[in-house]
């Protein structure tokens, strides 16, 4: 009984925290969905379950979503950010446009979602708008 009550509480709190359904976002992402991207998603999900069942790392398909980081540099100094603190363990620099182009050319038919941000200020990369 206690477990059921906790589960109900969890479900309620999950719904309370869920973002509202956005028709435009949903229509936009469904408009990008092709059979190839859907099949890639099925392969990625299948590899997840195959890995869980076999207890071995199995990877099918390409990433469904990726995040590019146009630059690790930033002109601000936000204290919670490795870029702002200049505390990266990797080099600070700009993503090269030819590397970006080569990667996108390889995976764009499977890729459903692309984010142009991780850390750093994307507009500091002089090629940023050409990438977009
Ligand atoms: S990348 Fe974003 S969070 Fe980090 S220092 Fe720059 S503005 Fe702040």
Phi-psi category of residue 62: left, alpha or beta, with phi > 0 → left and psi -120 to 50 → alpha: beta
Domain finish residue from 35, 61, 87: 61
pTM for this model (two decimals): 0.72
Q: How many domains does the chain have?
A: 2
User: Are 92 and 53 found together in one domain?
Assistant: no
Span from the CA of 98 to the centroid of ligand 1 (angstroms): 25
Structure tokens at 56: 């071995």
Same domain (yes/no): 88, 99: yes
Q: Kindly tell me the sign of the dihedral angle through the C-alpha atoms of 119, 121, 123, 127.
A: negative
- CA-121 nearest atom, ligand 1: 1
> Residue 108: how many CB atoms within 10 A of its CB?
11
pLDDT at 94: 94
Burial (0-12, 13-18, 19+ Cβ within 10 Å), 132: exposed
Q: Enumerate residue ranges in the chain where pLDDT < 70.
A: 1-16
Q: Are residues 66 and 131 in the same domain?
A: yes
Q: Which atom of ligand 1 is nearest to the CA of 81?
A: 4
Q: What's the whole-number average pLDDT of the chain?
A: 88
126 Cα to the center of ligand 1, angstroms: 18
pLDDT tens track for 33-67: 999 999 999 999 999 999 999 999 999 999 999 99
pLDDT at 95 (0 to 100): 93
């Amino acid at each position: 009984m206690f477990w059921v009550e906790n589960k109900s509480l969890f479900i309620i709190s999950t719904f309370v925290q869920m973002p509202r359904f956005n028709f435009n976002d949903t229509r936009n992402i469904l408009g990008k969905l092709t059979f190839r991207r859907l099949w890639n998603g099925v392969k990625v999900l299948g590899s997840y379950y195959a890995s869980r069942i076999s207890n071995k790392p199995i990877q099918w398909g390409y990433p469904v979503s990726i995040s590019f980081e146009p630059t690790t540099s930033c002109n601000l100094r936000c204290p919670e950010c490795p870029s702002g603190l200049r505390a990266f363990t990797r080099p600070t620099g700009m993503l090269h446009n030819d590397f970006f182009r080569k990667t996108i050319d390889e995976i764009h038919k499977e890729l459903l979602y692309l984010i142009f941000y991780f850390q750093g200020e994307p507009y500091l990369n002089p090629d940023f708008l050409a990438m977009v």
